Structure 1
Amino acid sequence: MDDFLAARSQMGVSLGFHIIFACIGMVMPFFMAVAHYQWLRSGNSRYLHIAKAWSKGVAIFFVTGAVSGTVLSFELGLLWPRFMEYAGPIIGMPFSLEGTAFFIEAIALGFYLYGWQRLNRWFHWFTGLVTGLSGLASGILVVSANSWMNSPSGFDYINGQFLNIDPMKAMFNAAWAAQALHMILAAFVATGFAVAGVHAWMVLRNRNRDFHWKSFRIAITFGALAAVLQPLSGDIAAKSIARRQPAKLAAMEALYHTEQPAPLLIGGWPDSRKREVRYGLRVPGGLSFLAFGNFRAPVAGLDQVPDHEEPPVPVVHFSFQLMVALGIWLLVLGLVYFYGSWRRRRWLRSPRFLKACVVAIPAGFLAIEAGWIVTEVGRQPWIIYRIMRTADAVTPMPGIRYTFYLFTAVYILLSAMVVFLFYRQIKMVPVLYDTE
């Protein structure tokens, strides 16, 4: 493995692990706040127990998210020094504001964890809500920095120099709104169904059923609502990509040749050597409509992209297909949940539905990982789209492959510890919060 590939792999592994910790730490405080509010409103102590149990999970993922996020910050400077040399003054604002949001989140979480019976009960609930809102702001600001890499703005690029820098314009770049909306909804989908799946598993095992059933309903409501909204945000994101990054769109759909109208490809096996796709199902005019709102619109293919600027098509295409397939599955589960809540309540307690939710535990996070692969690999070979190549931004320091191996081992160990702590917390629920 050469140092360039090792640097990319290390950044990919770090981001792949961090994004799971960050999404859970960002979304679960809202679940906790809802359970807390239900207790304040109804006086049902079961909701108090749920809020307390979830607060421990929030603490676990906050700590791991903070550690893994700090590592990513150092890696940006150590692995990609030329990128940070030029990009730092331009996208420093969202990173600085993200740090502020992180500190607010940490303070609010501290108040929440140690405020039981010490603070006014409504102010105590408010600190939990602030924990979620500041975590959400933190995620949006990080996505702003990433979206700038896909849609660079807020500067003039003249003779290899970044001049006339406007940090506000850079932060609110053309890709920011679509990418942030899609990412935040994805975090709610993934976390909602994962948490719901864990509690569904405990319901199936007859463990503290009322506690886990109430927990399941809160979590799956968030996840199902986000899953229903996610296709709308995906449509917005796809249209944004079609305008700004036609090469990425062509790679996502394995569109080797410009077509008018362009079909929507479902499945398929891209062959980059022969410039063709085998076995895929094509929906006539589908891609033209999704990209431009017109069934007859032309869509630029990879034949419009120089060979040295073409993204790795199979990786991007398979990741995109996986993300869409998992999203559709969770959407169907969400619709079944809402319909069941409305007309067929017995469906929700049926073992078949609960088992489907258990199986869906990893689905949302797999979709998030696939989506980030599309975002990052689909932009290649650029680290700043059409401005700076990734190969030109990497550090000249040798031996990166050894740090890649080390960091991968550390992240695997950290993840194992998180799973152990989370499993231990679930097992302790009947002991801590009266069994039935």
Structure 2
Amino acid sequence: MDDFLAARSQMALSLGFHIIFACIGMIMPFFMAVSHYKWLKTGDTTYQNVTRAWSRGVAIFFATGAVSGTVLSFELGLLWPEFMKHAGPIFGMPFSLEGTAFFIEAIALGFYLYGWNRFNRWFHWFTGVVVGLSGLASGILVVAANAWMNSPTGFEYVNGQYINADPIAAMFNDAWLSQSIHMVLAATVATSFAVAGVHALMILKGKNTQFHTKAFRIAAVFAAVSAILQPLSGDFSAKDVAKRQPAKLAAMEAHFKTEEKAALIIGGVPDEKTETVKYALKIPGALSFLAHGDFNTEVTGLDKIPKDERPPVAIVHYSFQVMVMLGVAMMLIALLYLFILWRKKNWLQKRWLLKMFVLAIPAGFIAVEAGWMVTEVGRQPWIMYGFMRTADAVTPMPGIIYSFYIFTAVYLSLSIIVMILLYRQVKMVGALYDTPANQSLPDNH
């Protein structure tokens, strides 16, 4: 492994680790706020207990996300100094605003965790809402910065120099809206299915059924709504990518030949040497329609892209297929769950329904990781699309491979620590929240 590959691998590892905690940090505070609201309105202390349990999970993920996010910020400067030298003044605004949102989130979380029976009840609830809103703002701002790398704007490029920077135009680039919507929904789907699945597992085990049933239903509704909206945002994103990054779309679909009535490829094994796809299901005209809204429109293939500017087709195509497959599976579960809420409420306690949610625990996060593989690898060989290649931005400092090994060990250790903390948290739920209905917990819990 050379230093360039080591730098890319370290960045991929850091991002892949951080994004899980970022997703949970963006969405789970809203679960907490909904449960808290239900307690304030109904007086049912089971909701209070759910809220307190979730608030501890939010604290764990906030701390881990803060550490891994800080590492990513440093890595941008240390691993890609040439990129940050030119790009930093242009797209630095969303990062600085994200820092502000992070501080607000940290302060609000502190108020929330230590505000039980100390603040006005509704002000206390409001601090939890602020945790969610500021976390959501942080995620959107970071995605805006990443979107700029896919759609650079807000500057003039003259004689190899980046001049007349406009940070506002850079932040609100052509890609930020579609990427932000898609990422927020993806985070909601992933977090909702994971949380609902954990509580479904506890129900199946017969542990604290009342507690876990109320928690499950809150998360399941979030999961159902977001999973149905996600394909719509995916269509919006795909149409945007078709216009701005035709090479990425072609790699996603393993679309080698420019043609009208382009077929949508499902599955398949792409062969970049022969520029063919084996064992694929092809739907004639469907790619033209999905990309441009017309079954007859021409779709740019990889044959129109210079070979040294093509992304790695296989990894982008496989990642895209995994993301779509899991997204469709979760959408079907969501449709079934909403149908049950509407017409078959007596099915809500069926074990097969709970088992489906248990099986879906990792699905959303696998889809998120696959989606980011599509976004990042599909942009290659560019770090700043159309302007700067990734190979030209990497640090000249030798020995990056050792840094990669060290960071791999650190992230593995953090993963183990987080899993231990979460396992202990789940066990604590059994000890602390196995209380009769309408019996609240002591403050020191």
TM tier relative to shorter chain: over 0.9
User: What SS does the corresponding residue of 2:123 show, helix, strand or coil?
Assistant: helix
- The equivalent of 2:157 in structure 1 is 157
Task: Summarize the alignment of residues 36-51 of structure 1 with structure 2, pairs less than 5 Å apart.
Answer: 36-51=36-51
Runs of 4+ in 1 over 4 A off after TM superposition: none
Letter of the structure 1 residue corresponding to residue 17 of structure 2:
F
- Aligned-partner Cα distance in 1 for 2:44–2:167: 49
User: What SS does the corresponding residue of 2:295 show, helix, strand or coil?
Assistant: coil
- The equivalent of 2:319 in structure 1 is 319
User: What SS does the corresponding residue of 1:92 show, helix, strand or coil?
Assistant: helix
How far does the alpha carbon of each residue in 1:191-227 deviate from its partner, in whole angstroms, 9 at most, with x for none?
0000000000000000000100000000111111100
1:249 aligns with 2:249: yes
- Aligned-partner Cα distance in 2 for 1:25–1:251: 31
Following TM superposition, by how much is the alpha carbon of 1:423 offset from its aligned partner in structure 2, in angstroms? 1.2
Following TM superposition, by how much is the alpha carbon of 1:419 offset from its aligned partner in structure 2, in angstroms? 1.1
- The equivalent of 2:231 in structure 1 is 231
1:21 aligns with 2:12: no
1:309 aligns with 2:315: no
Task: Summarize the alignment of residues 174-323 of structure 1 with structure 2, pairs less than 5 Å apart.
Answer: 174-323=174-323
RMSD over equivalenced CA pairs, Å: 0.6
- Aligned-partner Cα distance in 1 for 2:100–2:223: 28
- Aligned-partner Cα distance in 2 for 1:157–1:341: 56
Following TM superposition, by how much is the alpha carbon of 1:348 offset from its aligned partner in structure 2, in angstroms? 2.3
1:129 aligns with 2:145: no
1:76 aligns with 2:73: no
- Aligned-partner Cα distance in 2 for 1:331–1:97: 34
- Aligned-partner Cα distance in 1 for 2:292–2:375: 20
How far does the alpha carbon of each residue in 1:336-358 deviate from its partner, in whole angstroms, 9 at most, with x for none?
11000111113221111111110
Task: Summarize the alignment of residues 354-393 of structure 1 with structure 2, pairs less than 5 Å apart.
Answer: 354-393=354-393
How far does the alpha carbon of each residue in 1:165-188 deviate from its partner, in whole angstroms, 9 at most, with x for none?
110000000000000000000000
- Aligned-partner Cα distance in 2 for 1:215–1:362: 18
User: What SS does the corresponding residue of 1:379 show, helix, strand or coil?
Assistant: coil
Letter of the structure 1 residue corresponding to residue 386 of structure 2:
R
How far does the alpha carbon of each residue in 1:299-318 deviate from its partner, in whole angstroms, 9 at most, with x for none?
01000000100100000000
User: What SS does the corresponding residue of 1:157 show, helix, strand or coil?
Assistant: strand
- The equivalent of 1:110 in structure 2 is 110
How far does the alpha carbon of each residue in 1:257-313 deviate from its partner, in whole angstroms, 9 at most, with x for none?
111110010101000011100010011100000000000000010000001001000
- The equivalent of 2:403 in structure 1 is 403
- The equivalent of 2:64 in structure 1 is 64
- Aligned-partner Cα distance in 2 for 1:235–1:207: 41
Following TM superposition, by how much is the alpha carbon of 1:430 offset from its aligned partner in structure 2, in angstroms? 2.1
Letter of the structure 1 residue corresponding to residue 42 of structure 2:
S
1:119 aligns with 2:119: yes
Following TM superposition, by how much is the alpha carbon of 1:435 offset from its aligned partner in structure 2, in angstroms? 4.3
Aligned residues: 436
- Aligned-partner Cα distance in 1 for 2:98–2:378: 26
User: What SS does the corresponding residue of 1:267 show, helix, strand or coil?
Assistant: strand
Unaligned runs of 5+ residues in structure 2 are 437-445
- The equivalent of 2:52 in structure 1 is 52
Letter of the structure 2 residue corresponding to residue 83 of structure 1:
F
- Aligned-partner Cα distance in 1 for 2:13–2:151: 24
- The equivalent of 2:338 in structure 1 is 338
- Aligned-partner Cα distance in 1 for 2:70–2:432: 33
Unaligned runs of 5+ residues in structure 1 are none
- The equivalent of 1:412 in structure 2 is 412
Q: Percent identity?
A: 68
TM-score computed with the length of structure 2 as normaliser: 0.97
